[in-house]
């Protein structure tokens, strides 16, 4: 094969629906694969910890339906990674169920579906730690301890190309992956057809966020990547977008700490010597990428652990004197909560919007608050009942704060309603580590079935 | 004589975003190579200056790169808490760039 074409219609399938017009233009360009990633750790630790989705089912189904119908009509494979935002086992099963339902609804002729799981048991990780094989921390984290492991509710491993390759070799028409490196989904398709690793991983890297590699800015539009043995061409499908040298080179930096290196299970894509050419109006050609295989096969793990149940309260402040003394107001509410519940076993978090609610301690204008503030209060505690009362105390006591010179003695804050709201439980990213494995497939069991 | 300009008037893109669960990365991208070179020469954006703007300990800055292929200056910091921990005001890290909009750049050099 001289070249291979893949389209990607969505950088995070389900998070917002794909745009149909550019997707259909992409389908008309006769791609060899239709693929998208459906996960992200941007959504915070709650979905992984609680095994839920951040995306509405209707949007996930919308995109799966568009992709499945186009792929089956063209007779090309469809590939999805990190099913349902987190890539847990239940999210993979949910996507497989959706594929079955869509196939039945549209009377699709029989096709072969393949899937793999990425969730791993805590005891497996504990065994590694006890055997002396350090589970190494990423991003300045310490190596994983059993204490942190015990505080973790769910762990997924980040698959590389290996389970995808196995399912492609098994002749699957549709592949639904558990948690996977975004680039591996696309790279595996190219490697399956014999293209070199460097170009294959680059193809994946540039396609994984769909139209984020195009300009002007606009997400959820389809892009097409074409790989040859020494280059990757990337083309915007939306009539109003182009892939330019600036947009494609700029995308290499997106969401990563370093624009030159992309780490995947089994090695590292080195983009240091990449060369970018404007091949035509809407197409940029990239050459010069390299792939450096890893000495040791390490898999990235993501883990989330529950801190407690959570309620949220809100309060507004307009009095300039109260605004100037907002820290005392909050301290009062904390003290009242301590008097009721003691110093430990609960948490209160205050975000003061209008001052530094977004940037916290990094806010350079912390001493120049707005003329009105909104305080978001989060109370976290072991039970729902206690979380509600902690949050209610932490919110309502803002109203009763005792500032010495306040003129407004009838109430210190405004409420849009006098209640607190149950939120998702509070979780924390407990694991962002890598673990050594002997076999690239050992954490990712694959399965196949015929649908229809 | 100094010729101060605001970074927002020179750059095409000034953005911030999560780089994984524990970091936030900042991209300052220029349309023209000349402007990019001018800002590099001005030393308005250095390891030290970005830490000053954000009021953070230099140890929290993990990467600082002048990325010529994209006419971009890129730097990355460690979060104090992982993204989405209770109290995090910006789970995506997408609004942390604002203090750089008004950064003064002396383009006399």
pLDDT, tens digit, 9 for 90 and up, residues A234-285? 999 999 999 999 999 988 888 888 889 999 999 999 999 999 999 999 999 9
Name the residue facing B55 among A254, A258, A362 (closest C-beta). A362
Plot region of B51 (φ>0 → left; ψ -120 to 50 → alpha; else → beta): alpha
Q: Which of B24, B49, B42, B45 has the alpha carbon at shortest distance from B109? A: B42
Q: What percent of chain A has pLDDT over 90?
A: 95
Provide the pairing of β-strand A267-270 with A290-293: antiparallel
What radius of gyration, in Å, describes the C-alpha atoms of chain A? 25
Provide the pairing of β-strand A33-39 with A4-8: parallel
Residue A425 confidence class, pLDDT cut points 50, 70, 90: very high
Q: Give me chain A's average pLDDT, please.
A: 96
Contact: A139, B22; criterion CB under 8 Å? yes
Provide the pairing of β-strand A283-287 with A275-280: antiparallel
For B51, how many CA atoms within 13 A lie in the half-sphere containing its CB?
A: 13
Provide the pairing of β-strand B4-6 with A283-287: unpaired
* Residue B71: how many other CB atoms lie within 10 Å: 25
Run of H or E including A269: strand A267-270
Beta bridge partners of A432: A302
Provide the pairing of β-strand A290-293 with A421-422: unpaired
DSSP string, B20-66: SSSEEEEEEE-SSHHHHHHHHHHT-S-HHHHHHHHT--GGGEEEEEE
Q: Which of B70, B92, B79, B76 has the alpha carbon at shortest distance from A258? A: B76
Q: Which residues 187-226 of A have a C-beta within 8 angstroms of B?
A: none
pLDDT, tens digit, 9 for 90 and up, residues A114-170? 999 999 999 999 999 999 999 999 999 999 999 999 999 999 999 999 999 999 999
Would you state the pLDDT for residue A229? 95
ipTM, two decimals, is 0.95
Contact A441, A163 (CB under 8 A): yes
Contact A208, A185 (CB under 8 A): yes
B16 and chain A in contact, CB less than 8 A: no
pLDDT, tens digit, 9 for 90 and up, residues A176-192? 999 999 999 999 999 99
Q: Give yes or no for residue B1 having a pLDDT over 60.
A: no
Would you state the pLDDT for residue B109? 61
Mean pLDDT of B29-36: 95
* Phi, psi angle pair for B14, to nearest 5°: -135, 110
Mean pLDDT of A411-425: 95
What are the structure tokens assigned to A126, written together?
Answer: 């504990």
Of B19, B21, B97, which to mutate for an interface test with A (greatest number of A Cβ within 10 Å)?
B21
Q: Which residues of A touch B17 (CB under 8 A)?
A: 254-255
Q: Which of B92, B106, B91, B96 has the alpha carbon at shortest distance from B28? A: B96
Contact B24, B17 (CB under 8 A): yes
Q: Which residues of A touch B67 (CB under 8 A)?
A: 249, 253, 259
Contact: B18, A46; criterion CB under 8 Å? no
pLDDT, tens digit, 9 for 90 and up, residues A324-370? 999 999 999 999 999 999 999 999 999 999 999 999 999 999 999 99
**How far is the alpha carbon of A415 from chain B, nearest alpha carbon, in Å?**
20
Strand arrangement, sheet containing A261-264: A261-264, A267-270, A290-293
Higher pLDDT, A363 or A452: A363
């Amino acid at each position: 094969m001289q070249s291979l074409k893949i389209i990607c219609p969505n950088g995070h399938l389900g998070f917002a629906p794909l745009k149909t017009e550019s997707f259909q233009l992409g389908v008309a360009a006769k791609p060899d694969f239709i693929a998208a990633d459906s996960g992200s750790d941007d959504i915070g630790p709650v979905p992984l910890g609680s095994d839920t989705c951040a995306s509405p089912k209707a949007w996930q189904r919308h995109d799966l339906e568009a992709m499945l119908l186009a792929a089956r009509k063209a007779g090309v494979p469809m590939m999805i990674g990190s099913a349902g935002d987190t890539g847990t086992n239940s999210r993979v099963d949910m996507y497989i169920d959706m594929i079955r339902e869509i196939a039945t609804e549209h009377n699709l002729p029989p096709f072969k579906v393949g899937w793999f799981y990425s969730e791993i048991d805590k005891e497996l990780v504990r065994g590694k730690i006890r055997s002396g094989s350090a589970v190494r921390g990423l991003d300045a984290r310490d190596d994983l301890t059993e204490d942190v492991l015990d505080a973790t509710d769910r762990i997924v491993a980040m698959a590389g190309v290996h389970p995808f390759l196995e399912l492609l070799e098994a002749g699957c028409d549709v592949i639904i992956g558990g948690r996977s490196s975004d680039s591996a989904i696309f790279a595996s398709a190219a490697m399956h057809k014999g293209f070199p690793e460097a170009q294959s991983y680059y193809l994946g890297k540039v396609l994984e966020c769909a139209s984020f590699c195009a300009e002007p800015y606009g997400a959820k539009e389809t892009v097409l990547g074409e790989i040859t043995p020494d280059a990757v061409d990337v083309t915007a499908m939306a009539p109003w977008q182009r892939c330019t040298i600036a947009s494609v080179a700029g995308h290499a930096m997106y969401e990563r700490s370093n624009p030159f290196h992309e780490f995947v299970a089994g090695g590292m894509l080195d983009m240091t010597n990449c060369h970018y050419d404007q091949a035509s109006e809407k197409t940029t050609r990239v050459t010069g990428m390299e792939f450096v295989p890893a000495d040791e096969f390490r898999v990235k793990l993501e883990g989330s652990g529950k801190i407690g149940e959570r309620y949220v309260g809100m309060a507004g402040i307009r009095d300039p004197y109260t605004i100037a003394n907002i820290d005392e107001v909050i301290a009062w509410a904390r003290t009242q909560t301590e008097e009721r519940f003691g110093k430990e076993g609960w948490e209160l978090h205050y975000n003061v919007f209008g001052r530094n609610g977004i940037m916290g301690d990094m806010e350079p204008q912390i001493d120049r608050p707005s003329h009105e503030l909104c305080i978001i209060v989060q109370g976290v505690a072991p039970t729902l009942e206690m979380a509600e009362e902690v949050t209610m105390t932490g919110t309502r006591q803002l109203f009763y704060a005792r500032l010495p010179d306040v003129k407004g003695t009838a109430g210190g804050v405004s409420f849009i309603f006098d209640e607190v709201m149950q939120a998702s439980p509070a979780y924390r990213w407990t694991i962002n580590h890598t673990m050594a494995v002997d076999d690239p497939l050992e954490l990712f069991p694959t399965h196949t079935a015929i649908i229809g | 004589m100094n010729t101060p300009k605001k970074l927002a008037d020179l750059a095409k893109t000034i953005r911030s975003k999560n780089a994984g669960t524990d970091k936030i990365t900042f991209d300052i991208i220029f349309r023209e190579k000349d402007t990019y070179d001018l800002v590099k020469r001005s030393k308005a954006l250095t390891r030290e200056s970005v830490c000053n703007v954000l009021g953070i300990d230099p140890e929290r800055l993990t990467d600082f790169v002048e990325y010529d292929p994209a006419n971009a200056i890129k730097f990355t910091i460690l979060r104090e808490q992982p993204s989405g921990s209770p109290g995090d005001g910006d789970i995506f890290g997408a609004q942390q760039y604002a203090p750089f909009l008004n950064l003064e750049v002396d383009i006399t050099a």
